[in-house]
A and B are shown apart, each in its own frame.
Chain A
Amino acid sequence: MDSTVATSTEESVWGGGNRPLGASYGKLMMWFFIVSDALTFSGFLASYGFSRFKFIETWPIADEVFTHVPFFHGNFPMYYVAFMTFILIMSSVTMVLAVDAGHKMMKNKTILYMFLTIIGGAIFVGSQAWEWATFIKGDYGALETRGGRILQFVKADTGERAALSDFSKTLPSERVDHESKNGVWFYKGEALPSYTVNEVTEGLKSNPNILIRTETINSEGEKTLLTREESLNKIKDAKLVVEGANLIRNEYGSRLFADFFFFITGFHGFHVFSGVIINIIIFFNVILGTYERRGHYEMVEKVGLYWHFVDLVWVFVFTFFYLV
């Protein structure tokens, strides 16, 4: 009797058609994709951790880099990123509500919640674009030394950061921006910064209130402030004026910091963007009644999984880029 029972079970197992994991093919494949994508993001974040541990004493402090909120002036560390995080979690909630409504076959509710999800995603991508623009533009400006280190400036009396324009002198010099229109041999040239190294140096010498801040983090977890004499000595190493950030150098500190910022938030932003596109496609499918005719809204659930995954990744990016 036993053997008969075993045989019949085996037949049904190998005969196909059963779902040992209780999930449909499409959903399982979405999970496969999410797991592999999670490993990709982990690779990026782990390599960020690698570079950070390598330069642990000089890594930029995130609170001092991301201090802006649109339409407001002043120093607001992290408020805007926290807002972005909330927007993304909120759009995850509307997504999960859309999935829930889909299960109950409530077409209009699904449409509404999908719409809100798309809006949330769009706000997030827009915020990220703004964040990038602010990061690229920079705010204070800095000098780079021969060894590739960044020197920033601080007002001695208040302890606030000093922008190059606060103290630099304007010296008469013949600096010409090298543009393609005024040279036959023009191939390419870098845009000129607002001040020359000489102008910044003279400004520092004549302004006793300005001190240099190096990249090194002291035992209190703050960047080291040089004395007046040390500052005057240190500025002799300066080679370049750095304003804002690009892939080669940035005014915030370690070059790798900007590279990882662009790469990781860029890759995540691309995921959000593609998520919004996919959500829009599904949104129109819901409106057209595709899933009503199909008899189930599993497609909404599948894109929902992707959308939540994007949110999940952001939770980690938020921690490792902005908090830790």
Chain B
Amino acid sequence: MAHAHKLEIFRGLIKFKSNTQKIWGVLVFLTIVTAVEVALGITKPHVLTVNTFLGMKLLNWIFIILTLVKAYYIAWDFMHLRDEKKSLRRAIVWTPIFLVAYLIFILLFEADYIYNVFKDGYVTWNF
């Protein structure tokens, strides 16, 4: 860990007095995000399930974005990436992001193609 902690989150919107205080602050934030996710998952607001963006329900987009937000704060504040050197942080973060984005792109497109073959390619699988 670096010798000094950076004690602000949300780009300086909230500043903490000590590292311990920042940890509890992040916990509160992560708990709120999880609570929102669960509430949305249980109620499933109609507006968000009917409307889609890029072929996926808005609700699912919200879940994925909130997950990435949570992942950011876990990595940045719990794993101390915020206090690491920029070069280390970038090596750790961008390598997987690039590879995973590539993998997801390929696999999901291929899966959608297979789905269409099943659907209108004269292939019977539900006999």
Q: Is the CB of A323 within 8 A of B103?
A: no
Binds B, one of A53-61, A153-161, A168-176, A244-252: A53-61
Report the separation of the CA atoms of residues A201 and B85 in the bound assembly, to the nearest whole angstrom: 67
Do A312 and B96 contact each other (CB < 8 Å), given the known contacts A21-B85, A53-B111, A147-B127?
A: no
User: A46 touches which one: B19, B27, B104 (CB < 8 A)?
Assistant: B104
Collect the chain B residues with CB atoms within 8 Å of residue A35's CB: 92, 95-96
Tell me the A26-84 residues at the B interface (CB within 8 Å). Answer: 28, 31, 34-35, 38-39, 42-43, 46-47, 49-57, 63, 77-79, 82
Q: Is the CB of B88 within 8 A of A50?
A: no
Collect the chain A residues with CB atoms within 8 Å of residue B37's CB: 82, 319, 323
Report the separation of the CA atoms of residues A197 and B41 in the bound assembly, to the nearest whole angstrom: 35
Report the separation of the CA atoms of residues A79 and B127 in the bound assembly, to the nearest whole angstrom: 37
Report the separation of the CA atoms of residues A304 and B91 in the bound assembly, to the nearest whole angstrom: 20
Q: Is the CB of B34 within 8 A of A86?
A: yes
Do A21 and B88 contact each other (CB < 8 Å), given the known contacts A100-B23, A103-B1, A323-B37?
A: yes
Do A97 and B20 contact each other (CB < 8 Å), given the known contacts A35-B95, A49-B108, A50-B111?
A: yes
Report the separation of the CA atoms of residues A301 and B99 in the bound assembly, to the nearest whole angstrom: 27
Q: Is the CB of B111 within 8 A of A82?
A: no
Collect the chain B residues with CB atoms within 8 Å of residue A43's CB: 103
B7 interface contact, C-beta 8 A: no
What is the chain B residue whose CB lies nearest that of A215? B126
A308 interface contact, C-beta 8 A: yes
What is the chain B residue whose CB lies nearest that of A311? B74
Smallest CB separation, B20 vs chain A (Å): 6
Tell me the B87-126 residues at the A interface (CB within 8 Å). Answer: 87-88, 91-92, 95-96, 99-100, 103-104, 107-108, 110-112, 114-115, 118-119, 125-126
B31 interface contact, C-beta 8 A: yes
Report the separation of the CA atoms of residues A214 and B20 in the bound assembly, to the nearest whole angstrom: 52
Do A22 and B96 contact each other (CB < 8 Å), given the known contacts A89-B27, A92-B78?
A: no
Tell me the B72-90 residues at the A interface (CB within 8 Å). Answer: 74-75, 77-80, 84-85, 87-88
Tell me the A305-324 residues at the B interface (CB within 8 Å). Answer: 305, 308-309, 311-312, 315-316, 318-319, 322-324
Collect the chain B residues with CB atoms within 8 Å of residue A212's CB: none
Smallest CB separation, A237 vs chain B (Å): 9
Total A-B pairs, Cβ < 8 A: 139
User: A319 touches which one: B24, B64, B103 (CB < 8 A)?
Assistant: B64
A221 interface contact, C-beta 8 A: yes
A184 interface contact, C-beta 8 A: no
The 3 closest A-B pairs by CB, nearest first: A53-B111, A21-B88, A50-B107
A146 interface contact, C-beta 8 A: yes
Collect the chain A residues with CB atoms within 8 Å of residue B87's CB: 20-21
Q: Which of B66, B92, B111, B125 neighbours the largest number of chain A CB atoms within 10 Å of its CB?
A: B111
User: B85 touches which one: A22, A316, A323 (CB < 8 A)?
Assistant: A22
Report the separation of the CA atoms of residues A312 and B27 in the bound assembly, to the nearest whole angstrom: 13
Tell me the B1-53 residues at the A interface (CB within 8 Å). Answer: 1-2, 19-20, 23-24, 26-27, 30-31, 34-35, 37-38, 41-42, 44, 49
What is the chain A residue whose CB lies nearest that of B114? A54
**What would be 23 A-B contacts, judged by CB atoms less than 8 Å apart?**
A20-B87, A31-B92, A35-B96, A38-B96, A46-B100, A46-B103, A49-B104, A51-B111, A53-B111, A54-B118, A78-B42, A86-B31, A86-B34, A92-B78, A93-B24, A96-B78, A100-B19, A316-B71, A318-B67, A319-B63, A319-B66, A322-B41, A323-B63
What is the chain B residue whose CB lies nearest that of A93? B27
A278 interface contact, C-beta 8 A: no
What is the chain B residue whose CB lies nearest that of A315? B70
Do A90 and B74 contact each other (CB < 8 Å), given the known contacts A42-B96, A50-B110?
A: no
Q: Is the CB of B42 within 8 A of A77?
A: yes
